A and B are shown apart, each in its own frame.
Chain A
């Protein structure tokens, strides 16, 4: 009865087809496949990084033939409160910090909520998904110019309609604080929430249905199953979204360049704005490169912080 057909062991280890072709084993093969990417990566990432470091050690004006080596002076100027470069740079870092602090939480919570709703079944779901994602396909120039007109304090539509419905019709959205931050954060959330929502939506669709069924059998409420099934399963996706959102927010430039032009004064001038200004308008490229390096190092630290935070929680949760 118990006739089990024995699985015939392979008589002879068949060499995997990979080795059949001597070309595949050639050490150059892998490099050749990688070459197209490596050329771009080398030319547009590694080379500029190296060149930036080199430039940051010089007084580098591309228009002048002499580019004297000045060691760490560019860096020293940026961290010396008595230097004329200190205030503009750290004001812009502060502006970037404020923007990041307010935009990142909103760009996590709102897209997550949108993704949860879009994951439900209801008529017109695809239309809504498209509507939320649509602004993301626009370029920053379009978004900036359109909102600059809409938010104009005196001739903008937003204030006009606020006036029509009886609210204050002269809010200086683009030239006063904190209104300008509300405008910049609001526009950025409107513009980019679709991208984060799509990633969250993909994450939601990966959560096994059985877990929700099990939770339901245990009598979990909607909130409890969100809290104990959805959120833990989304942890890796959230870490990813958080990281790219922090980096994107810290690199904010176009919105304030076009909508407020840094006003009032230089309050909404972000770090990238200031760096671009220093390097490409004042042609002080050495100083701009040094400022970029300081920003990069701070961003690396922030990213490591996010990594550490999420790893810690994961281990804590499972032990």
Chain B
């Protein structure tokens, strides 16, 4: 199942062996970081990055370890880019290592601690703060300034969450959000001309699909992945914010949150969705033609193209008051390991700079280029995801708060699950989760030193 991007995904927990290895490695983490700071080749200390990068590299030949998690339909597109980079460069060779995102965030700290980690990599925007706070990655402000990149060059609101404690740690490659997929054959049979755009037209479409289309349950409401992403999108549509207080307070239990989750639950109560949708069933059923509409990430585009079904893609309908969708972004990062050596660090920065300019070609991966100019390229304009149009200007990213992903998994995601399954009333589930989340966030703030 291709439910790739986002670190907030339930990560498969590694085997006992890995855990033990992990424990012994943790002792090494401290040592490695300490030596890193005192290293002779370091300019400005590994925690601060190397600095002074001018945009080119002409030192001795280096080989860079490059890690990412593009295991799905986005893998071949990344392979092609790496091949092109290696062909372009005289003295930099990039060795790619692709690990499932679920394992990526467990393996990265362990490997980095043991000095076996990558020099450079791509990770999710919502992980940047966590990895920066734990000093696995270092600032890349000089890459942005050498390339002349500013906030205005990028899709709305993707730039700020890459900043942690006034320093930039990530250079965005793409943005990815939720979309509404629909079964064109079902729509035609039910006499629906265009995809629904708001709550009323969605409800009307569901009724038509049930009556004329003969689909018993047209819109299955998941209670696990990606239910929390749907909830966040709706919360933002109603004008709410999930977190506040500079990362020390959860606010998703607000009135807007209650409206969002209530609407999701209503799809079950109105009979548009079965009551108990198991993990991934809504997407499998969509591909089987057992339902007609499903909300999922745009990373499913390549999978749907391969499935051979007659599908369409449209922006999420505006259920609340404004257009909005949850979004995440793949960002390039530099590790503190690479920062110990000026040559590796500068070579890695050349790679990051080169890659960030390939946004347009990255459309093949089913993603939306982060660079504004790349979204005017034919590669993007001819891609299925271009149908999202204005939604791309209304994306919302989680704030840069260390440890937020795991807090969310233990609170918000559980509340969404319990409420949609009817285990708890919407308000009760959200307010309980909200107060737990606030407590965990305050603990984290203390642990990571704000």
Contact = CB atoms under 8 A, between A and B. Distances in A.
A21 B100 CA distance: 58
B23 A263 contact: no
B287 to A, nearest CB: 10
Given A61-B447, A281-B409, A282-B410, A261 B224 contact: yes
Interface in A201-224: none
Contacts of B10: 261
A280 B14 contact: yes
B63 interface: no
B421 A265 contact: yes
B23 A155 contact: no
Interface residues of B, number: 52
A266 B423 CA distance: 11
B279 to A, nearest CB: 6
A90 to B, nearest CB: 15
Contacts of A281: 11, 13, 106, 406, 409
Given A64-B134, A172-B275, A265 B26 contact: no
Given A257-B13, A265-B414, A280-B13, A62 B26 contact: yes
A174 to B, nearest CB: 5
Given A84-B439, A148-B279, A153 B274 contact: yes
A100 B174 CA distance: 47
B421 A176 contact: yes
A105 interface: no
Q: Which of A51, A63, A153, A156 gathers the greatest number of chain B CB atoms within 10 Å?
A: A63
A48 B421 contact: no
Contacts of B418: 264-265
Interface residues of A, number: 40
A277 B19 CA distance: 12
Interface in A267-310: 267, 276-277, 279-283, 285
A276 B13 CA distance: 7
A309 to B, nearest CB: 30
B29 to A, nearest CB: 6
A88 interface: yes
B427 to A, nearest CB: 16
B290 interface: yes
A62 B13 contact: no
A96 interface: no
Contacts of B14: 280
Given A153-B274, A154-B274, A285-B26, 17 more contacts: A55-B23, A62-B23, A62-B25, A62-B29, A65-B33, A84-B440, A148-B278, A153-B281, A154-B290, A155-B281, A170-B274, A175-B276, A263-B421, A266-B414, A276-B19, A280-B14, A280-B22
Interface of A: 44, 48, 51, 55, 59-65, 84, 88, 148, 151-156, 170, 172, 174-176, 257, 261, 263-267, 276-277, 279-283, 285
